Each structure stands twice: as C-alpha cells, then as structure tokens.
Amino acid sequence: MSGGHEHRARGFAAFPARRGGRVRGRSRWSQAWADSVADGWPLGESLPKGQAVARSGRLGPLTVGPGHLSAQVYEGTEEPYTVTLALPELDEARWEALWERTADRPAETDALLSGELPPGLLETAEDVGAGLLPGYGELDAECGCDVPDDPCAHAVALAWQFSWLLDDDPALLLLVRGRDLPSASDELRSVLFLRAMSESDAAEPEPAEPSDAAAPEGTPPAEAYARPRVLLPALPPPPEAVEDATETATGVAADPLERLVTDAAARAAGLLAYVLGTAAEPPRPLSLWQDTVRIAATHPDPRVPARLRAACERPDELDRAAEAWRWGGAEGLKALEEPWHPGEPAAARAAAALATGWDDEDLPEPVVRDNHWTLPARGLQLRYGRDRRWYPYRDRSGTWWPAGPPAQDPAQVLAELLEG
C-alpha cells in the first residue's frame, strides 16, 4: 500500500539555551522516545554530556524526514558540522498491518482521522511488529565531531531535542518512520473503504425477477433496487441565445465574478496541495489587509490595484506590499512588515555565510538590526524571514523595496543584488 504523498523533510527552529531544569520532554510521546533511546544505546558518559549539549543552544535548526534527523553543531568559532541520526523506515507490509489493526479499534481510528495520534497507537504498532519507537540497535548516529564515543554527545543531544519536538507534534514519530500524518490518514481511510465495500458485497441480496410494475410505497430497499431502471425524461431544449451579449443577466458585472472564480481556484489549489501532502499546512485565513494585498499582487486586471488603493485604509503602502507578495507570498509580506529577532545562532550563521560568500574586499560590514542586514552605502538590505529564507531589498528614494525572490543562502541573495 503506497502512501500516495511525496514525503518532504520538515525544518524546526533551533532550541535556545536552557539553564537547568528537566531534560526530558513533558508528554508521554517524548518520554517513550527518550526511554527507547536510553534502552537501545550504550550511553554511559555520553548521556550527561549529551543532555548538557542539548541545553546549551549549540545545535542549529533540526531537520526531520523519513528515516533521519539532522542538525548543525556550532562549537565556538569553528565551522559547523553535521550530526545525523538514521532510523529505518517501515516497509509497506508493516504499515498495512498497522492500519488494518487500527481499523479494528474505533477510538484510535476516530482520533487518527481527526488529525491526532491516538494514545494507544504505540501499543498497536508494537502488536503488529511495526514499532514507531527505535528498537535496540536501530538508531544509527553519524557526526562530524570525530569524537570516538559511540554515540557522541552531539548525537545524544539531537535525540533528546527530538523528544522535545514530540511534545508539540507527536506525528513526527510517523514521519521519521516514513509516513506523514495526511498519508497515514489516507491509508487508514482506504482500509475502511475496502472493508465497507467487502461487507456491502457480502450483504447484497439475490436479484428479484424483473417487473414492469412500479414499486409500491413501503417496498423494502432490496426489492426496489432489483426493479428495472426507468429512463430519465429527455432534456429540455437549450435557451435561446442572448442578442446583446453586453447586458448582464444577473446584474453582476463580469470582472467581479472573474475575481471570485480566480480566488476560489487559488484557495482550492492550496487545500488540494495540503490534502495531497505537498504542503505541510492548509492555507491559513488571511486578514483583510493580507487579502487586499494578495488580490492586488495576483490579479491580472490592471484596474484592480487602482480600485483597491482607493478603497483600502493603507493606500500608500499597497504597491510595496503587493511587490513583496509577488516575490514571496504571505511570508514575503511578513518579511516586509514584521521585524523580529532571529537569535544568536541565526546571526552567527548569516555572518559566516556572508563572510565567505563574496569576493569584494571593500564591501563593508552589514548593519544588523533585528532580522535586517543592511549595507547603507550600497543601498542594499537582506531580511531574514520566519520561514528561514533571505529576502533581498533595495533602497528607492529612502524606502526599502523588495527586489527579488528569496533564497536559503544569504550570500546568494546578496550576490544577485550586487550584480543587479
């Protein structure tokens, strides 16, 4: 049974440094993960060292994907290196066995179809040999620290920080074993559908003798379905053509209808991408201002921005906001309007990338404020978005305007700005 979705790794922001306090997560999911890690690894001295690293803030953003976890390790001024944990994905037969067993348990079925991991799913998975937690010897660690400990403290820290993620998103247990939550729900629905079809076939009665008589009121459904089908009446003739096509039959002009159709199609595409698993989240409702900006940025009719500018409360900001939406969508608009402080690890990574990403020795140090990296003398600016992408900006008469598409590498964005 195939999941039917393209699995993509998910990224999570780095955990800030923690001073003291508990290392284990709060939920039963995170505690079960931590127990399995401790049981499956010969931790020894690596355990307290790893817990200290987990609390130190030295691990960068976490990446979670089918069969692996990874993060960058930052040790002082040295170049960061990668630590990775590998966990075997479950094969198709085990996933199918898990959903067959889950379908026997209505409470677990209802919870999973509602987008939640049912509490008994761990036990159900163990019953059919499809354990979601790492078994003994399953978790394999690889790290660039060159420390002879196996596992090293960085690998233990990554395992512990993953348990913290499970506090908020236990469905990551499915993802690291090879399924995201939408795929799991779809496969469970397929099992339920096939069962319903089988039960329907088994309960289907023998066909009755054909009869031209209509089924009298109160005829049992089985007998009614067995009677011969009656042809539908012929369709009525089509309406006559309208002589003056410029007149509207409904009183609604054509271009508002076109906007509504375009908007509905865009929203349907976003929902479909989420249902099919190509988008991590369903499209979120937009505020009045965001929706105004979106329409101004995406509608092909040049009259639309002018109408919106005349009607909205922030007419002077609409053109620049629409430009930000064209380059980066809703996240691009946030980068324009919402300053935020990304934290020291992100700042250190940006500084390292920018220091090695250009050849111009005369390029001055950027002025850093919140998530803005500015080169005032060049009239250039980079903005770090909450989606971990860098957005280019250019000074136009004292106002910063979006100047191109975002990218993950700040040096790449800066190079394109300098070339432009």
181 within some domain: yes
pLDDT tops 50 at residue 1:
no
Query: Is this prediction's pTM over 0.85?
Result: no
Annotate 74-98 with three-state secondary structure.
CCCCCCCEEEEEECCCCCHHHHHHH
pLDDT tops 70 at residue 254:
no
- Nearest-angstrom CA–CA distance, 158 and 37: 11
- Nearest-angstrom CA–CA distance, 129 and 325: 48
Neighbours of 60 (CB within 10 A): 21
Tens of pLDDT along 93-128? 999 999 999 999 988 999 999 888 888 899 999 999
225 within some domain: no
Give the residue, 94 or 24, on which the prediction is more confident: 94
Both 92 and 20 in a single domain? yes
210 within some domain: no
Tens of pLDDT along 131-156? 999 988 899 999 998 888 888 999 99
- Mean pLDDT for 342-349 is 78
pLDDT at 4: 40
Domain tally, the chain: 3
Last residue of a domain, one of 156, 191, 226: 191
Both 325 and 363 in a single domain? no
pLDDT at 33: 92
138 within some domain: yes
- Nearest-angstrom CA–CA distance, 162 and 32: 12
Both 187 and 74 in a single domain? yes
Both 42 and 181 in a single domain? yes
366 within some domain: yes
pLDDT at 48: 84
Both 154 and 17 in a single domain? yes
Instruction: Evaluate whether 85 touches 34 at the Cβ level (below 8 Å).
Output: no
Instruction: Evaluate whether 415 touches 357 at the Cβ level (below 8 Å).
Output: yes
Pairing, β 380-384 against β 399-402: unpaired
With cut-offs at 50, 70 and 90, classify the pLDDT of residue 194. confident
Both 414 and 302 in a single domain? no
Last residue of a domain, one of 136, 170, 191: 191
Q: Which of 13-22, 112-121, 137-146, 221-230 shows the lowest mean pLDDT across its residues?
A: 221-230
pLDDT at 357: 55
Tens of pLDDT along 200-210? 555 555 554 54
326 within some domain: yes
pLDDT at 360: 52
Both 349 and 332 in a single domain? no
Q: Would the CA dihedral through 410, 9, 15, 75 be positive or negative?
A: negative
What value does the mean pLDDT of the chain take?
A: 81
pLDDT at 388: 86
- Nearest-angstrom CA–CA distance, 392 and 388: 13
Both 81 and 163 in a single domain? yes
Name residues whose C-beta falls within 8 Å of residue 14's C-beta, 6 or more positions apart in sequence: 57, 59, 60, 61, 62, 71, 343, 345, 346
Cα-to-chain-centroid distance, residue 114: 17
Q: Amino acid letter at 408?
A: Q
Last residue of a domain, one of 191, 218, 233: 191
Annotate the chain with three-state secondary structure.
CCCCCCCCCEEECCCCCCCCCCCCCCCHHHHHHHHHHHHHCCCCCHHHHHHHHHHHCCEEEEEEECCEEEEEECCCCCCCEEEEEECCCCCHHHHHHHHHHHHCCHHHHHHHHCCCCCCCHHHHHHHCCCCCCCCCCCCEEEECCCCCCCCCHHHHHHHHHHHHHHHHCCCHHHHHCCCCHHHHHHHHHHHHHHHHHHHHHHHCCCCCCCCCCCCCCCCCHHHHHHCCCCCCCCCCCCCCCCCCCCCCCCCCCHHHHHHHHHHHHHHHHHHHHHHCCCCCCCCCCCCHHHHHHHHHHHCCCCHHHHHHHHHCCCHHHHHHHHHHHHHHHHHHHHHHHCCCCCCHHHHHHHHHHHHHCCCCCCCCCCEEECCEEEECCCCEEEEECCCCCEEEEEEECCEEEECCCCECCHHHHHHHHHHC
Both 182 and 73 in a single domain? yes
pLDDT at 319: 93
Name 400's bridge partners. 395
207 within some domain: no
Cα-to-chain-centroid distance, residue 20: 32
pLDDT at 252: 43
Instruction: Evaluate whether 154 touches 145 at the Cβ level (below 8 Å).
Output: yes
- Nearest-angstrom CA–CA distance, 86 and 69: 7
pLDDT tops 70 at residue 358:
no
pLDDT at 316: 92
Both 119 and 74 in a single domain? yes
39 within some domain: yes
Q: Find the domain containing 370 and state its range.
A: 344-419
What is the per-residue burial (b if ≥16 Cβ within 10 Å, else e) of 363-381?
eeebeeeebbbbbeebebb
Tens of pLDDT along 373-410? 999 988 999 999 988 899 999 999 999 999 999 988 88
Both 68 and 184 in a single domain? yes
Both 348 and 364 in a single domain? yes
pLDDT at 365: 78
Q: Which of 86-90, 97-101, 196-200 shows the lowest mean pLDDT across its residues?
A: 196-200
